[in-house]
Amino acid sequence: MTESGLQVVVGTPSELSEDSAQDYLDSQFVEGLLEIMTQMKAIRPDIVRGIPVHRFLQRMPCKGLAKKHRMFYGLSEVTKQLDEFWSHSWRTSAGLKYVNILFLNNGFPAFVVGTLCALGAFSVRLAGILPMQRVAGPANASCTMAGTIGYYVTLLLWPSRKLAFFDFACINQSDEIRKGEALLSMGAFLGCSRSLLVLWDEAVVTRLWCMFEMAGFFHSKGPHADKSVLVCPVFVGPALLVGHLGISVLALALLCSGLPLFPWGGIFISTMVFPCLVFVDYVILAHCRSIDVMQHQVRHFTVEHSLCHCCESGHVKANGGQLMCDRLIILRCISAWFGSVDAFESLVRTRLLKMLVFQLANQVFSYWRIVQATIPAAWAIMDLHDIRQDSAAAPLQTMLAAVNYPFCVLPSFSLIILRVAYRVRNLGHSKWTQWLLSFALVVESLMFGAYFLCEQALRQLSDDHFGNWLPAHLVALILMGTVTLVLWRHLPV
């Protein structure tokens, strides 16, 4: 298709009425375009582009701060297959979206590398190469420091090989003709994407583009499309990274101070953790209430009342130039893919709604995300090895405890708090009531204290009968492993 022909279709002047614009779309090129859109093909092979995730993560902050938005397109490359399609609202904070993508893509490799670094430091200490200092100082925190450094270096520099669709980088924003070709080829972008990542906030439901992208992905992948969709609220990545950093800093402060774990260490930890837990519970309650808001919005979704940036700006660019109307192209694609606007709206209110509720209620704080956020607890336990019993079983019992807390104890208690928060989310709607509920949820953290006392009793019993704590830690790991498996598989929403 020639550029002049395409311009007739997508270059509708902004001052024309909607009827006149429709007349332009009813030109001789429409039939060919409809066939391309129906088959979800690209107008040209080089239209489909993706940006390497590592390039996005390493280059986007510099270009974003320098406001070089027009240069994003040069970061992408032509491809036939995309690993991810990133759907997002342009109104959401770019910083939140960036940190979210950073955590989702590099968080697990960073978790693995950080843990290996901590294990390496632990092994060096056991070998006697690194002295086990029993007075206050950084040497007491070698495992935590090694793990933290390994984690954040990997988080920032991991060379992810994924190719993703990101509209700023994969659609030419400075050339209206190229942009129109890409928009008309949106079905090709969706069809060649293995998965869909929705960077969620409450504005997504109101944006026609976002709902169209999700529905288009469902259309391209068939009845099992929901298995390839990940919905992640934009606050999740930053929240989990802040939690990870907070636990790391708290552990380093405690270990370097040389405070005994009983009682001053426990008092220090409780004092620092309490306000953080209150704030976290407040955020969780807000998220739970947002699920109800989302359900209401999606159940009443209509194309007519959904928003487009081009229409909101009056089809005029910031520099005064004409801005192409995306809504007309989207409506053409909807007719080609779903048959009618009513069928599209029906899919949004049924399949999309079911998928969104499940993901937002069950997958936001998943087991592995909680493990990744709390893994510094395992590194700190390794550092505490030098003040434990001096026996051959000490390294093994230390490792059992290091596995038990981040993989079993903390995820189980977190899940219980999440489920209780969802149940009580609507007990009050004022800010004061929500803060009171947050304080009440923190009381549930006493379960952790009760578990810790039970573990101490097991240790004493084990020490009396076997002369070490190994049986106690083994029993604790088996019991909490069973509890964790049952809770994460069967605890209802």
Q: Are residues 84 and 219 in the same domain?
A: yes
430: DSSP letter: S
pLDDT tens-place string over residues 379-403: 999 988 754 455 677 888 889 999 9
* Position 199 pLDDT exceeds 90: yes
Q: Under a CB-based contact definition with an 8 Å cutoff, are residues 214 and 103 in contact?
A: no
Q: 3-class DSSP state for residue 347?
A: helix
Residue where a domain terminates, one of 359, 387, 415: 387
* Whether residue 284 is found in the same domain as residue 417: no
Q: Does residue 342 sit in the same domain as residue 437? A: no
Same domain as 412, residue 338: no
Q: State whether 468 and 327 are in the same domain.
A: no
Q: Which of 10-14, 143-147, 222-226, 436-440 has the lowest mean pLDDT?
A: 10-14
Q: 353, 387, 421: which is the final residue of a domain?
A: 387
Percent of the chain with pLDDT over 90: 39
The verdict on residue 392 lying in a domain is no
* Identity of the highest mean pLDDT range in 2-11, 21-30, 208-217, 400-409: 400-409
**What span, in angstroms and rounded, lies between the C-alpha atoms of 81 and 49?**
9
Same domain, 427 and 307: no
Question: How far is residue 170's CA from residue 178's CA, in Å, rounded to a whole number?
Answer: 11
Same domain, 443 and 319: no
Structural contact between residues 280 and 442, judged by C-beta atoms closer than 8 angstroms: no
**Per the structure block, which two tokens stand in for 433?**
């009531």
Domain boundary among 387, 407, 430: 387
The pLDDT tens digits of the residues spanning 201-226 come to 888 888 888 899 999 999 888 888 88
Over residues 141-172, the pLDDT tens digits come to 889 999 999 999 999 999 998 999 998 889 88
Q: Which domain holds residue 205?
A: 3-387
Q: How many Å apart are CA 11 and CA 184, to the nearest integer? A: 12
Which burial class, exposed, middle or buried, applies to 219 when counting CB atoms under 10 A from its CB (0-12, 13-18, 19+)? Answer: buried
User: Which of the two residues, 60 and 113, has the higher pLDDT score?
Assistant: 113
Q: What is the per-residue pLDDT for 359?
A: 92
Average pLDDT taken over every residue of the chain? 83
Same domain, residue pair 333 and 411:
no
Burial pattern 237-255, b for ≥16 Cβ within 10 A else e, equals bbbbbebbebbbebbbebb
Task: Assess whether 341 and 301 both reside in one domain.
Answer: yes
CB 188: neighbour CB atoms within 10 A? 24
Are 291 and 408 part of one and the same domain?
Answer: no
Q: Check whether residue 44 and residue 142 sit in a common domain.
A: yes
- pLDDT of residue 13 exceeding 60, the answer is no
| Residue 82: band (very low, low, confident or very high) from pLDDT cuts 50, 70, 90 | very high
Picking from 14, 166, 137, 12, the residue whose alpha carbon sits closest to that of residue 79 is: 166
Element (H, E) at 78: strand 77-78
Structure token digits, residue 231: 């919905």
Q: Do 180 and 9 meet the contact criterion of CB atoms below 8 Å apart?
A: yes
> Is the confidence at residue 234, as pLDDT, over 80?
yes
Choose the weakest-confidence range: 13-22, 128-137, 305-314, 412-421: 13-22
Q: What is the DSSP letter of 352?
A: I
How many domains does the chain contain in total?
2
Residue 410 and residue 306 share a domain: no
